[in-house]
Amino acid sequence: MISATELTKLYGDFTAVRGVSFHAAPGEILGLVGPNGAGKTTTLRCLAGIISPTSGTIAVAGHDMRDDAIAAKRALAFIPDEPHLFDYLSVEEHLRFIARLYGVHDVETRLPAMLDELELSERRRSLPGELSRGMRQKLAIACGLLHDPSALLLDEPLTGLDPAGIRRMRETIVARAERGTAVILSSHLLNLVEELCTKLFVLRQGECVAFGTMDEIIATHPDLAGLSLEDVFLSLTSEGTEGAGA
């Protein structure tokens, strides 16, 4: 559903991501983890078609991001850590805007349900400037989920959400995956990653140091057996560790 092959991204002389390959099948939740500056956001932005990879290929729902970008983008949703919203569109107008862009014909049915689900019904006429940080994040999530994407890219999706919102978001991610959506989740919250993700993709300095299920990662790194995810993460991302994909 989402696949990247030999993905490389250079910014001038700086290599942000170097030759990484991974895939997330329908129903899978892939946890994208790594220390600050590892290249997680660059990877997600490449997958979302916001920036072009220097080399390598990306495919979303069978559509190549370079050759058939529109179809690939129509199949996915990218929810960034910082909600990017238009200052002059209300909550409801944001959703109508997205509906038109993504060709959601039954918006009149989906819109109230989405507003209810994310507790935005009472703020449907509010502009982003009138919303709290958490509410803006919920609106960004609603925009991402409205067209029922088959691939979902989440960059720190819980930032700014209240405890109820966090629980609901966790349930939403799981529910979407159960309905066949391929999810890539980038987060520093390792307990969240451990709870939700079926596979892990660990980046360090732009390179893949581990990819696969926990069992597969342990199989390629026997010394990590019995450690918590936090210890596994710290071990894999510390200097001097040899990278290996499962």
Q: What residue type is 233 in one-letter code?
A: F
Does residue 45 belong to the site contacting another protein (CB under 8 A)? yes
- Name the one range near another protein by CB under 8 A: 82-90, 156-164, 178-186, 190-198: 82-90
* Cα gap 68→91, rounded to integer Å: 30
- Name the one range near another protein by CB under 8 A: 78-86, 178-186, 204-212, 225-233: 78-86
Q: How far is the CB of 114 from another protein (least distance, A)?
A: 14
Do 233 and 34 contact (CB within 8 A), yes or no? no
* Cα gap 195→96, rounded to integer Å: 33
> What is the number of other CB atoms lying within 10 angstroms of the CB of residue 77?
26
Binding residue for another protein, selected from 2, 29, 104, 193, defined by CB under 8 A: 104
Please, is 19 exposed, middle or buried when counting C-beta atoms within 10 Å of its C-beta (0-12, 13-18, 19+)? middle
Whole-number CA gyration radius for the chain: 18
Binding residue for another protein, selected from 15, 19, 35, 93, defined by CB under 8 A: 93
Q: How far is the CB of 101 from another protein (least distance, A)?
A: 5
Token pair of 8 as six digits: 């490389």
Nearer to another protein, 89 or 234 (CB): 89
Instruction: State the residues that interact with another protein by CB under 8 A.
Output: 11, 45, 48-52, 69-71, 73-74, 78, 80, 84, 86-90, 92-93, 96-97, 99-105, 107-108, 125-127, 129
